[in-house]
Structure 1
């Protein structure tokens, strides 16, 4: 009998041959009592062949078609697990990772006391760790690119990550990198913007020290704060000298204070640094 032949192929791990026969039998027995076993074997055969797209489709169809079957819970889990198996390494697009989390959470919602509920929860945590690693890598890339605007983008990305993953294992390092990125952003800014941006770096430093007073990054953070304070003093002195020189030039050229302020406002608005 073709069914028995297909099962033998499956048991001997000749999955490609088994799948051909199971597909033929599915067409023949669709809607009949034999179809339940065929659906089950077809799903697992696709899974063994690592065709996770077909496998998750077949597992889900089994659970939907036979909701009262003792195998329904198992197949619902396997459908979600196929998404997990299709989740790529963190450096690639994580769309399947997000889908896997959704499917595993749906399984837990449907079977909160099921024997696979804990395993599903553990898998969700692994997937979230991967998304967290992806977010860290993306934010770190901005920082490592080393361009002035990239430092500001790094600050924004790191802050976004802390909001999304407040318990991240990278939290201490991220808060330090925010201080450093903001300092470097200030350092590469136009002089008239530096004071405010260095002060922002000091604010980030204070938040970092409040959260991690004994941090392994404390010495480096202290140096950044000290340097920022010195830079502020230098910038203030420099800007005072520049403003004084500008006022003298304007007086010599007969430019009124109002005209000078209007021109300065226009220059500030047109600059992004």
Structure 2
């Protein structure tokens, strides 16, 4: 009895494997065969069934066979989308662009131009990483808007650009803040932080970090001044005081105004301390010179 069950189970396994091998062989036979129309129909069927990996194998072969023929346009469209569905955004964006460039008069050209830019958007990494694809995505989306200003997709493209610019803004802010946080190891980084914060504010005038960055720029200038030679401190502290005054004029109701004013007071105190130090140094210098003159006269 047990032996019979084993034989039945073995037979079922063999039957299953035979069916699987048969199905695979059928696809492989079609893929490597010369029945191009049937291969075309099967590729479309597989795509619609969301079997994109198999569909891609057929589309890849068909793209070569239908080059320059009327079917090439549809194949180019499906080929781009198959790569997109498989999340190969690098290949997809290239193929979408190829379609838009090759068939500019097609009713699908606008869609493909947008999808090419959108693939760049999807490839845009976290703000902490290199933002080359973010820049390219913005350029591609802006090109789409310029080419199709009346398109229904313009609103979405504009929103995507805003998202990408927010990422660039966050990246620039993080880079500037890094100079500030590393100033304790290298005081020159405080000056670099001032420049970096100003650049971010120039490039992103509507940034949500504006007040915070201005405060950090003022603090950076103060700390740069504090770590300078006393002979240079007055000028540099005065710059921090001027920056604080500009902040108060622009943001009179800011929650950070009190912090800015505290930095300004510290800068003013720094000027007083620097002047006292310089005066003391000058007095000690005069005293040493006077003592040297007295000693010289006695030795005559």
Q: TM-score when scaled to structure 1?
A: 0.90
Report the CA distance shift for 1:15/1:250 in structure 2 as closer, same or farther (over 3 A): farther
Aligned to 1:194: 233
Aligned to 1:116: 153
Pair 1:203-2:203 in alignment = no
Aligned to 2:254: 215
Between the aligned partners of 2:105 and 2:91, the Cα distance in structure 1 is 22
Three-state SS of the structure 2 residue aligned to 1:115 is coil
Task: List runs of 5+ in structure 1 lacking aligned partners.
Answer: 255-273
How many aligned residue pairs are there? 254
Aligned to 2:49: 12
Structure label with greater radius of gyration: 2
Comparing both chains, which one has the higher relative contact order based on Cα–Cα distances under 8 Å and sequence gaps of 6 or more? 1
* Pairwise CA distance, 1:179: 1.1
* Pairwise CA distance, 1:187: 1.5
* CA deviation vs aligned residue, 1:131-173 (integer Å, no higher than 9, x gap): 0110000001111113311111110100111111111111111
Between the aligned partners of 1:3 and 1:253, the Cα distance in structure 2 is 103
Between the aligned partners of 1:209 and 1:117, the Cα distance in structure 2 is 39
> 2:142 aligned to 98, 105, 109, which one?
105
Three-state SS of the structure 2 residue aligned to 1:33 is coil
Task: List runs of 5+ in structure 2 lacking aligned partners.
Answer: 1-37, 294-300
Aligned to 1:24: 61
Aligned to 1:236: 275
* Pairwise CA distance, 1:249: 2.5
> 2:122 aligned to 71, 85, 96, which one?
85
* CA deviation vs aligned residue, 1:96-115 (integer Å, no higher than 9, x gap): 10001111111111000011
Between the aligned partners of 2:39 and 2:292, the Cα distance in structure 1 is 101
Q: TM-score when scaled to structure 2?
A: 0.82
Aligned to 2:217: 178
Aligned to 2:4: none
